[in-house]
Structure formats: structure tokens, C-alpha cells
């Protein structure tokens, strides 16, 4: 999961209360563990715990092996926000160093060079748009 700037601020306000990257993602993953998933359509997914709802958009990704990901990240020397969803790792570091933590395999890979963020995981990435109070139909089972 990657975060928009708005979602980053909303997560700090409603869940994490601190601005540390690891803390925000830890709270996000705790929220996902206690939430149920609602697939609204082919682009929008909502996770809700009946009090709050996390609104996400699906992102297009490539399925690449770890070696192919290394090639794609070859020339990057600036720090990026790197997310490895399978082991719930998140760091703001040079992608080459982060990739050392990722085991061999084939993963969904997404990179946004403008926002300097990278996603690696077995599931396609989601972009968290906002977190808001749950609507009535999301509160009901």
C-alpha cells in the first residue's frame, strides 16, 4: 500500500498520532488486520472496521522477478519510500539496500519516480486515498 499526501495526514490524525514512517505503516497494517474488505468496483477498494473506512485505488503493476526489479532500480541513488507488503517492511532508503531484504521470487512491482515511492508484494498495490468515518452501509455486516 502506498499513501497519498492527504492519506498520510489523515492516518496521522486518526490512527498513528506520530509522523514516523514505520509507526504510520504499523498502524495501517493493524487496521487492515481488523478490517473487512469491500470491492466497490474494478478500481476502488474499501477496508472498514465499522467505525473508520480506508478508501483505496488499485494501481497497475508489473510482475517481475527479484533480478528484474534489481535491474529496474539500478541507477537510483536517492532515498525512496520502499514498501515490501508480504513481510510488512517499510523503509525510506536507497532502493538497492532495501532490495537486499526481499527474498527471491516473483512480485508485483510498482514505482512512482515523481513521488519517490516503491511497492513490492505478492498482491497488486493499492493507493490509500483517505481514511474517513464509516458510512451506514459500511457499518452494517
pTM recorded for the entire structure: 0.88
Domain boundary assignment for the chain: 2-134
For residue 100, count CB atoms less than 10 angstroms from its CB and return exposed for 0-12, middle for 13-18, buried for 19 or more.
exposed
Each residue of 115-141: b (16+ CB within 10 Å) or e? eebbbbbeeebbbbbbbeebeeebeee
pLDDT tier for residue 141 given thresholds of 50, 70 and 90: low
Q: What are the pLDDT digits (tens) for 86-127?
A: 889 999 999 999 998 899 999 999 999 999 999 999 999 999
Amino acid at each position: 500500500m502506498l499513501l497519498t499526501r492527504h492519506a498520510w495526514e489523515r492516518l496521522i490524525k486518526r490512527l498513528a498520532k506520530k509522523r514516523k514512517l514505520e509507526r504510520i505503516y504499523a498502524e495501517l497494517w493493524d487496521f487492515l488486520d481488523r478490517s473487512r474488505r469491500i470491492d466497490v468496483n474494478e478500481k476502488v477498494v474499501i477496508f472498514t472496521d465499522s467505525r473508520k473506512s480506508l478508501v483505496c485505488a488499485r494501481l497497475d503493476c508489473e510482475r517481475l522477478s527479484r533480478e528484474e526489479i534489481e535491474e529496474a532500480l539500478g541507477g537510483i541513488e536517492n532515498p525512496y519510500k520502499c514498501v515490501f507488503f508480504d513481510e510488512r517492511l517499510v523503509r525510506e532508503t536507497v532502493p538497492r539496500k532495501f532490495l537486499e531484504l526481499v527474498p527471491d521470487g516473483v512480485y508485483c512491482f510498482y514505482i512512482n519516480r515523481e513521488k519517490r515511492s516503491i511497492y513490492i508484494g505478492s498482491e497488486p498495490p493499492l493507493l490509500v486515498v483517505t481514511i474517513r468515518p464509516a458510512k451506514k452501509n459500511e457499518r452494517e455486516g
